[in-house]
Structure 1
Amino acid sequence: MLLSALALAALHPFTAAAADEAAGFPSKPVHIVVPVAAGGSADKLTRLIAERLTERWGQNVVVENVAGASGTIGAARVAKATADGHTLLQQGEGLTLNAILFERLPYDGQKAFTPVIKAVVNPQILVVNPKTGINDFRGYLARAKAQPQSISLGLPGNGGIAHVAHEMIAQDTGAQVNYIPYSGGGPATLDVLAGHVDATLITLAAVTDHVRAGKLRALAVTTGYRSSALPDVPTMAEAGLPGFAVESWQGYFAPAGTPAAVVAKINRDIQAVISAPETQAKLEDMGFKVAGGTPSDMVRTLSAERLRYAKTIQTAGITLR
């Protein structure tokens, strides 16, 4: 047995070192870069996970909001970070969208990051300020078609999933709205609440409490299923757009070159955190569904979404520079 073990070590000289590196991780505070403004769903999700990881690891897990340029500024910071697992990026389909939309990026959109875990999936939800007088999704579509550009729609990031999803709606129905881009879901929500803009299409978890309080009127969710957090809100397929379904997700990435054993440890620990009954209940109450899975699962998701979203973006003529 000892001979076999030594032979394997000779064949794979970095295996023991990698195992030691993972066992000693983290050896200092871990920073998770959230590439949008504070207050949105990505921020809320990451702060909850960071709190639980701090308890689990015995090291501070610090959330840094680095907004700007549709998330590429924050992503660039992580791409340039030391590849040891101590700097992570929160991202989802936005990573794919930016790789399609930008002519140039300060990093390679397909090679700069190592997928770690898809943490949650969630619907986007269309909400309006009640003072708009729009009561349901059919009414929204009717006004946007009869009076093009009369509805102002706050986007939680130009070229993000909300933008692309709404372009899918527009291409299917002919509805036209006036897009107002923001640096994240938090600022967009505040302006809808204040009545500065009429509506937003946003991650459900970002506005759940406002909908429950009656401060925002929910018209429909983008997924093919209703959310258990707001079960009375219909899907867009139910509310007038048969067959429509867009599911958003949020996960975590490490810089390319991060040791596989460290990636595997982070994956296992985040999986354990989000699967814990108390945390899972909080996430579901916010409007998320726990996903989990392996880094390979994320690779397949990224590949499939690139094909789908590229077609919509090309048809709509969306570009970012």
Structure 2
Amino acid sequence: MVAGSPALWASQPASAAHDATGYPSRPVRIIVPVAAGGSADKLTRLVAERLTALWGQTVVVENVAGASGTIGAARVAKAPADGYTLMQQGEGITLNAILFNQLPYRTDEAFTPIIKAVVNPQILVVNPGTGIRSFADYLARAKAQPGTLTLALPGNGGIAHVAHELLAQQTGAQVNYIPYSGGGPATLDVLAGHANATLITLAAVTDHVRSGKLRALAVTTPYRSQALPTVPTMAEAGLPGFAVESWQGFFAPAGTPPGIVEKINRDIQTVLSMPEVHARLEEMGFKVAGGSAADLAASLKAERPRYARAIQTAGITLR
């Protein structure tokens, strides 16, 4: 299976404005393929609320978690290509196509890119009760006591998993991975002390870090987040050159009329540019991205070989 096939992602038809006439004339559903409470869910609900006001039609967010996001994606792949069922997804759409031997859909044929909404760091956080105070402390314990630290993963084989495997390969740190159905459940277990740490989208835990309920150790991007500017990058904290940036965006079933895709893209960009929305996303830890459907298609094509190499080197497999 090939994710982000150049033949597909580059083959979206030219503009056809009449395709969007009267759209939407009834409620629109956005499938979030992870559990409620995480960053993907927060982003989607914020966008859905503003689209509801803009369109005069209810935009419903539905969480369909399981199997690293592939259950929700399969539901969207089988939905009518009419713009009334959309999907929130990020780099997981590429990762799953690499990691799974079989999926109930062909990634390179099932979805139409709409927009890359935001980019964001992954952040390593721990429960303060661990006594770990810095990224150096974390690495030292993970190397001195291999497998004793428990790391809650917001999805098996997701970007956090890939990023931590790259970290482990570079440092020799070994932890016990515990996969969850999304960022929300993973965060709750770290807060409760049932797991020691999580590597997760920064926007999912900013409030908990600010309140002191979680201790932030480092972010995966080569730049610090404006939302948590005192948290160092992993490169600054001892891993020169380390950089992983995740993103979140929106898709429709393949075959959705191009005029509808363009309207959704345009209206989501309108939402993202609203001062109060932009400020809220930045406060959460996201960086607004935007751009055209073609921009997202190009990003999908570019990221696949990079992640394929990383997964192969790290030896990550799913069935």
Normalised to the residue count of structure 2, the TM-score between the two structures is: 0.94
Alignment match, 2:211: 213
Mapped contact 2:79–2:85 kept (Cα < 8 A): yes
Q: CA deviation at 1:20?
A: 2.9
Aligned residues: 307
The counterpart of 1:296, out of the listed 280, 294, 297, is: 294
Displacement of 1:23 in angstroms is 2.5
1:112, 1:221 → 2: CA distance?
Answer: 33
The question of 1:140 aligning with 2:138 is answered yes
Equivalent-residue separation in structure 2 for 1:234 and 1:72 (angstroms): 33
Shift in alpha-carbon separation, 1:108–1:231, aligned structure 2, 3 A: same
Q: Distance in 1 between matches of 2:195 and 2:299?
A: 33
Moved more, 139-148 or 311-320: 311-320
Are 1:59 and 2:44 counterparts?
no
Residue type at the aligned position of 1:225: Y
Q: CA deviation at 1:126?
A: 0.1
Match of 1:130 in 2: 128
Moved over 4 A (4+): none
Structure-1 residue corresponding to 2:105: 107
1:24-173 → structure 2 map (5 Å cutoff): 24-173=22-171
The separation in 2 between residues aligned to 1:302 and 1:176, in whole angstroms, is: 30
Partner of 2:3: none
Q: Kindly provide the CA deviation profile for residues 79-132 of structure 1, in whole angstroms up to 9, marking residues without a partner as x.
A: 000101111000010000000000000000112100000000000000000010
The 1-side partners of 2:148 and 2:64 are apart by 32
Between the aligned partners of 1:192 and 1:278, the Cα distance in structure 2 is 30
Mapped to 1, the partners of 2:123 and 2:176 lie a distance apart of 17
Separation of aligned partners in 1, 2:14 and 2:250: 24
Whole-angstrom distance in 1 between the partners of 2:238 and 2:135: 7
Contact 2:27–2:57 at 8 Å: present in 1 too?
Answer: yes
Distance 1:42 1:284 in 2: 14
Deviation, 1:178, is: 0.4
Of 311, 314, 320, the residue aligned with 2:312 is: 314
RMSD across aligned positions (CA): 1.2
Counterpart of 1:131 in structure 2: which amino acid?
Answer: G
Work out whether 1:251 is the aligned partner of 2:253: no
5+ long unaligned stretches in structure 2: 1-12
Matches of 2:216 and 2:234, distance apart in 1: 11
What fraction of aligned residue pairs are identical, expressed as a percent? 78
**Corresponding residue to 1:188 among 176, 183, 186:** 186
Query: Normalising by structure 1, what TM-score?
Result: 0.94
Q: 1:152-177: per-residue Cα shift (whole Å, max 9, x none)?
A: 00000000000000011011111111
Provide the secondary structure at the position in 2 that maps to 1:111: helix
Q: Whose radius of gyration is greater, 1 or 2?
A: 1
Equivalent residue number for residue 5 of structure 2: none
Cα deviation, residue 34, structure 1: 0.1
Shift, 1:303, TM fit: 1.5
Q: Which runs of 5+ in 1 are unaligned?
A: 1-13
2:283 alignment partner, one of 260, 282, 285: 285
